[in-house]
Structure 1
Amino acid sequence: MNTGSQQKCLILEPFSGGSHFQMVDLLRQCFDAQCLDILTLSGRKWPWRARTAALYFFQRIPEDSSYHTVFCSSVLNLAELVALCPKLGSSLKVIYFHENQLVYPIQRNDSCDFQFSYAQIVSCIIADRIVFNSKFNRDSFLSAIPSVLHRIPKDGRPCDVVSLIEVKCTVLHFPIVFPAIPTFQRSLEELHIVWPHRWEHDKNPELFFSVLRQLVADHCNFRLSVLGETYGEAPECFQTARDDLKEQIIHWGYVPDKTAYYNVLRSSHVVVSTARHEFFGVAMLEATYLGCWPLCPDALAYQEMYPPSCRYRTPAQLCKRLRYFCKHPRLAVDKRANLTIDFSQYSWSTLKNSYADLLGLSLRNEL
């Protein structure tokens, strides 16, 4: 680990919400303020952040500054920023992929789809190090590059792009500071299901709520907590579900206080994901760590993070497993007690030295 106290790192986050915010906040706590310059934009209006953050940050980087390392998320068009601010070209440029746009199930039109994907590819060309939070994220990004570039007219299509990018890629898990686990007695009388994800279409809330409606139709007894942040207007299915499932709901909406949030997870038996897109899944890991049995799609990053017993292939399988747990809540508790997942590989205490090396800084606080 580098111990030079005078080296400085510039951290840039165009979309400071969710896991993006968590990472920047953790780095802020763990490294000396005099060694960090941090510029962020709030976690809203993602398309505008991706399009325009480079110019915004350029205008706010001190003219007399010099950085050993520039660390940014993949929301930023790094190539644009370096073109606007050439002095950053001599810095070690690190881009971190919380997610990638090349395989993102977007709601936008094709031209926007291509432009966001292409910007991430070009940013990887200019970067010195490219870091992904999971193998799935890295592999899906690299494998999708040819199909994205194939849309370019043949006479202007770049070549050997994958090989230029692949040699700079590595996987470094998102760092989680797991909370302490006090003794907590879950109810064995009634199943508590929690869904702690962003209220957006890519998390497929429509599927989740349709499964719950089927459970109600089957006269299953359960309680429900729907957590997670909302960026802008939530899909209509949330209001409909709130009306349809009002008898089952205990908690509804984002819980900003971490202690209160963790207490909801501790009281839950099963945490469910219905995501069409997931490159890591901090909320699922936190809930599982705090004692929930995870049920997630047999796809995406879940295949490398959870054993087959926690994954389902079809909505019918998800419904069947939840129906079974509704009848036998104790079994969800027992199964979780026997579940083995190595959480240390996702823990800040394990990963902190790797992040210190990546940024070229010395750790300040021990978290």
Structure 2
Amino acid sequence: MAAIQDRESEFQVIIIEPFYGGSHKTFVDTFACNLEENGTKYNIVTLPAKKWHWRARCSALQLYSKIEHVELKSKGLLWCSSVLNLAELLGLRPDFGKCRKIVYFHENQLIYPIQQIKKRDIQYALNEITTCLASDLVLFNSEFNRTSFLDNISKIIKMIPDNRPKNVRDIIEMKSRVMYFPVMFPKLVPTTATKPVVLQIVWPHRWEFDKDPNEFFEVMMELKKGNMDFRISVLGEQFTDVPQVFEQMKSDSDLKDRFTHFGYVESKDDYYKILRNSHVAVSTAKHEFFGVSMLEATYCGCLPLLPNRLVYPEIYPGGCLYNDRKELIGKLKAYCECPQKAVDDRQNLCIDFEKYSAEALSSKYLEILNE
């Protein structure tokens, strides 16, 4: 059931999130807190984070009956994520067309990896393109997200058999920009430094195909076959469709004795504690446009090891990146043999976390509202 949170009977901003979970939920909550502190009136309309594909196809229809009583004045602003087909919603609620409309892209479907070999369903990509055309401003959470979206528009348009629209990329590019995800970094608690004996590896991603958990666990198996000593914390949120590899690893695998934690951690304090007690955070993602969990892990003291692709080169120094499985295994073996080296390399790592902090970005988001 859709959830509607009212802040005053007359509001200035309506925030619509059809997939209210994970980083999408975190963003909405952080943005709403920013509006609250600024004294801006707002209204939040959400749907639970279930069945992403159905949300991407049907959320405008699902939300229509839930927001019949919601009014938005011409000076108001409609803010939504790209999961919503904005063009459809405006067709159902033409009165929303008079206000300013901003869409935020956490990810884009134009380069999404396909799980099964089949003819690509381009409807999700077309929905995102029409959403951009229906909006006044398009925000992406990274330059990689923005560029990969724009560069693949023509490829999608060419799949249309005839009467292809022209200048779509140019129109969208002119009203697009990058606004990094506002990360609420935790307050760091001073700890007594002790020399690590066993390397603690953390995998902090949501349990989905595009994060390539199979690759991660295969790398861990290679480390064990090489008689490396290490421990693993598998964190991250779970949604409807969980890859089978997680149950296989937990119940029947040679890695069972290596897990110090396996599963979602509800408490943020407990989650950050696990990150602070870990030495290396690993990503094997096929699909990443920002990566809140890896930034949080790095902020909490983990050395990040990430593929040399996707958004990662935009955020992390080259020394954190690997080009293939062999290179990742080589780096991890070196840290297993000397965990202190991982600690030292993390201490020497330079990342400007302020660029991504909610506190630093709050004023920039408010400026957008007043444009």
Whether 1:18 and 2:22 are equivalent positions in the alignment is yes
Inter-CA distance 109–39: structure 2 relative to 1 (3 Å threshold) = farther
C-alpha displacement of 1:111: 6.4
What's the counterpart of residue 53 of structure 2? 47
Cα deviation per residue 1:254-311 (whole Å; 9 max; x = unaligned)? 0011000000000000000000110000000000001000000000000100011000
CA distance in 1, matches of 2:48, 2:116: 21
What's the counterpart of residue 281 of structure 1? 291
C-alpha displacement of 1:106: 3.1
Contact 1:7 1:360 in 2 (8 A): no
SS at match of 1:21: helix
CA distance in 2, matches of 1:309, 1:109: 34
Find 1:196's aligned residue among 204, 207, 228. 204
Contact 1:9 1:71 in 2 (8 A): yes
CA distance in 1, matches of 2:183, 2:370: 20
Whether 1:232 and 2:240 are equivalent positions in the alignment is yes
Inter-CA distance 73–333: structure 2 relative to 1 (3 Å threshold) = same
Cα deviation per residue 1:327-357 (whole Å; 9 max; x = unaligned)? 0000100110110000000001110011112
Inter-CA distance 278–38: structure 2 relative to 1 (3 Å threshold) = same
5 Å-filtered alignment, 1:157-172, equals 157-172=164-179
What's the counterpart of residue 28 of structure 1? 32
Find 1:139's aligned residue among 138, 143, 147. 147
5 Å-filtered alignment, 1:182-193, equals 182-184=189-191, 185=193, 188-193=196-201
C-alpha displacement of 1:149: 0.7
Inter-CA distance 9–150: structure 2 relative to 1 (3 Å threshold) = same
C-alpha displacement of 1:57: 1.8
Structure 1 residue ranges, 4+ long, deviating more than 6 angstroms after superposition: none
Contact 2:141 2:181 in 1 (8 A): yes
What is the letter of the counterpart of residue 172 of structure 2?
A: I
5 Å-filtered alignment, 1:1-367, equals 8-32=12-36, 35-63=41-69, 65-67=71-73, 68-107=76-115, 113-153=121-161, 155-184=162-191, 185=193, 188-242=196-250, 243-360=253-370
What is the letter of the counterpart of residue 136 of structure 1?
A: F
What RMSD in Å do the two structures reach over aligned CA positions? 1.8
CA distance in 2, matches of 1:279, 1:34: 29
Q: Percent identity?
A: 46
Contact 1:11 1:37 in 2 (8 A): yes
CA distance in 2, matches of 1:138, 1:27: 21
C-alpha displacement of 1:7: 5.6
C-alpha displacement of 1:18: 0.8
CA distance in 2, matches of 1:109, 1:81: 32
C-alpha displacement of 1:186: 5.5
CA distance in 2, matches of 1:213, 1:319: 10
C-alpha displacement of 1:359: 3.2
CA distance in 1, matches of 2:147, 2:254: 40
What's the counterpart of residue 3 of structure 2? none
SS at match of 1:318: helix
C-alpha displacement of 1:108: 6.3
SS at match of 1:244: coil
Inter-CA distance 168–34: structure 2 relative to 1 (3 Å threshold) = closer
CA distance in 2, matches of 1:85, 1:107: 35
What is the letter of the counterpart of residue 50 of structure 1?
A: A
CA distance in 2, matches of 1:131, 1:186: 43
Contact 2:30 2:358 in 1 (8 A): no
TM-score by length of structure 2 reads: 0.92
Inter-CA distance 109–52: structure 2 relative to 1 (3 Å threshold) = farther
Contact 1:293 1:333 in 2 (8 A): yes
Give 5+ residue unaligned stretches, structure 1.
Answer: 1-5, 362-367
C-alpha displacement of 1:152: 0.5
